[in-house]
Amino acid sequence: MRKLTMRAAINEALRQEMRRDPNVYVIGEDVGVFGGCFGVTAGLIDEFGPKRVIDTPITESAIIGNALGAAATGLRPVAEIMFMDFVGVTMDQIYNQAAKMRYMFGGKAKIPMVIRTACGAGGSAAAQHSQSLEAWFMHVPGLKVVAPSTAYDAKGLLVSSIRDDNPVIFVEHKFIYDLEGEVPEDIYSIPLGKADVKRQGSDVTVIATMAMVHKALEVAEELSKEGISVEVIDPRTLQPLDGETIIESVKKTHKVVIVHEAVKFAGPGAEIAAMIAEEAFDYLDAPIKRVAAPFTPVPFSPVLEQAYIPSKEKIIAAVKEAVA
Amino acid sequence: MAIERETLQWMYRNMLTIRYFEERVAELFAAGKCFGFVHLYVGEEAVATGACANLRKEDYITSTHRGHGHLISKGGDLKLMMAELFGRRTGYCKGKGGSMHIADVELGILGANGIVGGGFPIAVGAGFTAKYKGTDQVAACFFGDGASNQGTFHEGLNMASIWKLPVIFINENNFYGISLSQRRSMNVPDVAARAAAYNIPGVVVDGNDVLAVYEAVQEAVKRARAGEGPTLIECKTYRYRGHFEGDPTVYRPEEEVREWKKKDPIPRFEEKLAQMGIMTEEQMKQVREEIAGKIEEAVKFAEESPWPSPEEVLEDVYA
């Protein structure tokens, strides 16, 4: 099958959804001729013009408010917040307005909007251009949170996100934009709230998100040579979270390691671990382990940054401890 | 100025409806029948009335924490509003929103809002939809003097101005953001002066003169429908009651309140209606009685409405 980078797969999802539905438009900073800070929206303006691929000023609250007001009145906006670190500037429009509007109005509003945003450390971009803040949004009722790890998943999940009638935070890890994978040319969707078992295994369950999925898969491959069979699960959607797939796996392996790049304290893994402890405690043969960033801002120097990002070595150590 | 007789009569009825609704809510709140935070619109009736008299059903509004007047003016159902204030299942939001979140999307009411300044970007988005779809709908964004110090004010007006969106920003300058007076919260006497920063018209009107508001908004709506972009209209007015019910209002002199009450928009308009030969005192009296009756019907509806069942807390989070 044809291979695409995750960047190109997201671009294709946008393009195909825009062709399908004239109410879908793209709005954000430098998304037009510039093609987006990470090149994700490249070329869309050539096909759809400035009416549907809209460059905004640097004005995050108005970008999200525009999307919300438009979604509440019948359009399907896909807004881009260039770096996930910038969501704080517009947080009120996301968590107080978009997320709650339907509930506050007694179910009488539909808010079909997507906020695409790039997370992740690895480029010495330091503390305000590198964070993974997905746990913030998992905590807000009314939002859905999608976090793909592959090109295939990114395309199908973005299609579902655009068609969803709720506000969706679509998190793209910027250091896997270049990763290639097989992606069908035809449009397809992957349901939100469905995890994917990326590798079958029987000794330990590793639940990993976004860039960490790939590290977990490398670890699984290496450890298989030592006779340790690692199952790798990518939740793909963090809200709603597919507890069923995770619990099924725990019942099989009895050991769990959770890996994400967000900081460990109150990170996405905290919720996953708590869920497993509540629902599958009797199946556990070892304490749940978490491998995640330390409780610090993201540092600048490559040396410090590499110490910050969860490494393969740390994942290996955690898995070995779990199966010991 | 040629305003249709029916419009003038509607304005009168509408202002009275707001006044009576709010005064009744004050009593009901004091009696413990409605809950939470209630911010009343008494004294400011001319603004919502004069503005919404220019709007069609399919036009949009965004409202504020002090939103009852806007909702009534855009056609909100008194019974559903009152039931919501009572926390009942029959209320506009099934008891999930309360005073600060009443909405009726079918009527273009995109919600009252508990966050000061929260409505600017949303109104801009509604105006964007109208432009995107090529309709001649407009969005009216109500906001207070305090909200104009929020960042969303700047972002909203800037975006509406650069894209010539059909949005009318209607400022209700009641001179206080909770306790802080306007002269301590901004270094310009008029909120409307800020329009210059966006190269859009900024107009100051007497917000206690419903016809002055009507005329200013009429012009702005015309501009918006013609694709000429947004307007900022500042209506100078006053809230008679505190910021919220229970506010002791220690921050403003009684004398100031008395002075403003002399400029009450309703008696002023009654005088004008009589002068213009639109309504006689007898007719106005009839209207007053009729509206008082409607408010009581709404109260009765709310009181007799069922409470939501506890399990409904889980409904309506996601579509």
**A227-246 pLDDT, tens per residue?**
999 999 999 999 999 999 99
Collect all residues of chain B within an 8 Å Cβ-Cβ radius of residue A92: 115, 118, 152
Cβ separation B159–A103 shorter than 8 A: no
Full 3-state SS string of A103-151: HHCCCCCCCCCEEEEEECCCCCCCCCCCCCCHHHHHCCCCCEEECCCCH
* The pLDDT of residue A129: 97
Average pLDDT over residues A129-152: 98
Task: Domain ranges for chain B, please list them.
Answer: 5-305
Fold (topology level) of A196-323 = Rossmann fold (3.40.50)
Q: In this prediction, what percent of chain A has a pLDDT beyond 70?
A: 100
> What ipTM describes this predicted complex?
0.94
In a mutational test of the B interface, the residue from A54, A73, A100 whose CB has the highest number of chain B CBs within 10 Å is A73
For position B1, what pLDDT does the model report? 57
Task: Select the residue of B106, B121, B128 nearest A93 (Cβ to Cβ).
Answer: B121
**Partners of B205 in the beta sheet?**
B235
Q: Would you call A68 and B96 a contact, using CB atoms and an 8 Å cutoff?
A: no
The answer to whether residue A287 scores a pLDDT higher than 70 is yes
Nearest to B319 among A65, A97, A102 (CB): A102
Contact A316, A219 (CB under 8 A): yes
Cα–Cα distance for residue pair B179/B176, rounded to 1 Å: 6
The share of chain A scoring above pLDDT 90, in percent, equals: 100
Give A54 to chain B, closest Cα distance, Å.
11
CATH class name, domain B5-305: alpha beta
Match 């007053």 to its residue by tokens.
B288
Residue A183 has pLDDT above 60, yes or no: yes
Contacts of A102 in chain B (CB under 8 A): 316-319
The residue ranges of every structural domain in chain A are 3-182, 196-323
Q: What is the pLDDT along chain B (319 residues), one digit of tens a residue?
A: 589 999 999 999 999 999 999 999 999 999 999 989 999 999 999 999 999 999 999 999 999 999 999 999 999 999 999 999 999 999 999 999 999 999 999 999 999 999 999 999 999 999 999 999 999 999 999 999 999 999 999 999 999 999 999 999 999 999 999 999 999 999 999 999 999 999 999 999 999 999 999 999 999 999 999 999 999 999 999 999 999 999 999 999 999 999 999 999 999 999 999 999 999 999 999 999 999 999 999 999 999 999 999 999 999 999 9
User: A143 pLDDT exceeds 60?
Assistant: yes
- Write out pLDDT tens, residues A14-56: 999 999 999 999 999 999 999 999 999 999 999 999 999 999 9
CA distance A276 to A281: 7
Q: With CB atoms and an 8 Å threshold, state whether B125 touches A109.
A: no
| Residues of B involved in catalysis | 239, 243, 251
| Alpha helices by DSSP H, chain B | 5-30, 45-52, 68-73, 78-85, 119-133, 151-162, 182-185, 210-225, 254-261, 265-275, 281-304
CB contact under 8 A, A73 and B123: no
Question: What residue type is A173 in one-letter code?
Answer: H
- A75/B132 Cβ within 8 A: yes
CATH topology of domain A3-182: Rossmann fold (3.40.50)
Q: Which amino acid is at B111?
A: G
Quick one: B168 exposed, middle or buried, by C-beta within 10 A (0-12, 13-18, 19+)?
buried
Residue positions of A annotated with a catalytic role: 129
Partner-chain residue, chosen from A69, A106, A108, that has the shortest CB–CB distance to B128: A69
**CA quadruple B253, B254, B259, B260: dihedral positive or negative?**
positive
Q: What pLDDT is attached to residue B2?
A: 80
pTM: 0.96
User: Stretch A105-128: mean pLDDT, rounded?
Assistant: 97
Q: Do B162 and A57 touch (CB under 8 A)?
A: yes
